Amino acid sequence: MTRLVIIGGSDAGISAAIRARELAPEKDVVVLAADRFPNYSICGLPFYLSGEVSDWKTLAHRKTRELERLGIGLRLDHKATRIDPATKSVTATTAGGRLRTFRYDRLIVATGAVPARPSIQGLSLPGVFFLRSMVDGFVLHHDLTTREPQSAVIMGSGYIGMEMADALTRRGLSVTVVARSSVLKTLDSSLGRLVRDELTRNKVKVVEGSPVTAIEKGRRGRLSVRMFAGDPIRADLILVATGSQPESALAARAGVTTGIQGAIRVSRTMGTNLPDAYAAGDCVETWHRLLGKNVYLPLGTTAHKQGRVAGENAAGGEAKFSGSLGTQVVKVFDLVAARTGLLDWEASEAGFSPRTAELESWDHKVYYPGATPLRVRLTADRTTRVLLGAQILGHYSAEVSKRADVIATAISSQMTVDDLVKLDLSYTPPTGAPWDPIQTCAQEWLDSAD
């Protein structure tokens, strides 16, 4: 019996295991998971910590027994420490410190990512937390429920920073967000300012343009956050949410080629430079559909898709990863912000000739109760009119993410702005208008082109 060994029990690893078992049920599939929580939604942790999700067990995409019924051999609390390509083996350390060796015919590395640690003092002080794993979530939850901190500083204003500003405010903490530059840099500044306004409306203090230089012990168990400019901020709890970096050291020591930000370099089939070795998820580079090259763009949706491709090919298939557009969405209090494709400046850097139209409209017919403003930014190439990207911001009830998905689909199909206007989209007064706001913005783009 041939054996597939998968290192990593999160999105990419489990997706790979399931796909391999679907196509080759005779294959022995073993997953080495570094903790006891395979296939859990790390993206759901902010909502568990806020109290909106009361039971952490519901964050499991699939329960352990479900995975085992599929014929997947889970080896929990097995941290892979060495890959030997010459003998086709992986060495793992168990929770009890025992070394175990697993032979493989095919290997998939799906080790994910770890929190980026800024080069400052004080990151190991009590009261300083990161959030990248279920264990991280449990540690932070224990602190919130036992020590009951009253104030928090969040270092970083990306997606995790925004969601945790919401979560900790819901728990009654006084929250300050410290951003190296501005809030939510994944959006253009006109929309980022609206996100900052939403934070302010919910009593979150925002400090922009002043990176943290050190974390120090303060009085009475409190912490002091020193910044490049301005007075120190004192808080009971500090969350470091300054991004992530690929967990690729294990693969690199085995001779796997790495590239952008140290991520594992893979082909469109998710193959590495080592024979019979694949990689997928947040530890690898990602093919970008518009840029036509690899980037580092760690997203849960991408990890699932890459894992499925790796699993199929490890089972003897010939699948190819179709690529990412960086489609993503975040909820910040009552506001939802989504984007797909390229921002204007990114398109320019990539050699396109972009133009962007921005429009504010209502999410549905204003005469029907509950209509809310919806802000749309649409980017397309001046010459070809081919769609390049979009950003949408509005109330969480306004179907922001699904409208972004429509544009992501249009970009994937290489549609033009004219094509978007012609789409036959649904309409009823409680949910939309005869011309959907994304089509109205497309018309605005076309009018400005004349």
**Would you name the residues annotated as active-site residues?**
43
User: Could you give the count of Cα atoms lying within 13 Å of 175 in the half-sphere of its Cβ?
Assistant: 26
Per the CB < 8 A criterion, the answer to whether 378 and 409 are in contact is no
> DSSP of 350-404, one letter per residue?
TT--EEEEEEEEESS-TTSTT--EEEEEEEEETTT-BEEEEEEEEETTS-HHHHH
- What six digits make up the tokens of 438? 């994304």
**Positive or negative CA dihedral for 188, 189, 194, 198?**
positive
CA dist., res. 163 & res. 48, Å (int): 11
Report helix, strand or coil for 98. coil
| CA nearest neighbour of 2 among 23, 26, 20 | 26
Per the CB < 8 A criterion, the answer to whether 191 and 219 are in contact is no
* Cα distances (Å, whole numbers) of residue 242 to 4, 129, 270, 343, 373: 35, 12, 27, 21, 31
> DSSP of 38-67, one letter per residue?
TTB-GGGHHHHHHTSS--GGGGBSS-HHHH
CA 58: distance to chain centroid?
A: 20
Q: What is the dihedral of CA 410, 412, 415, 421, to 10 degrees?
A: 10
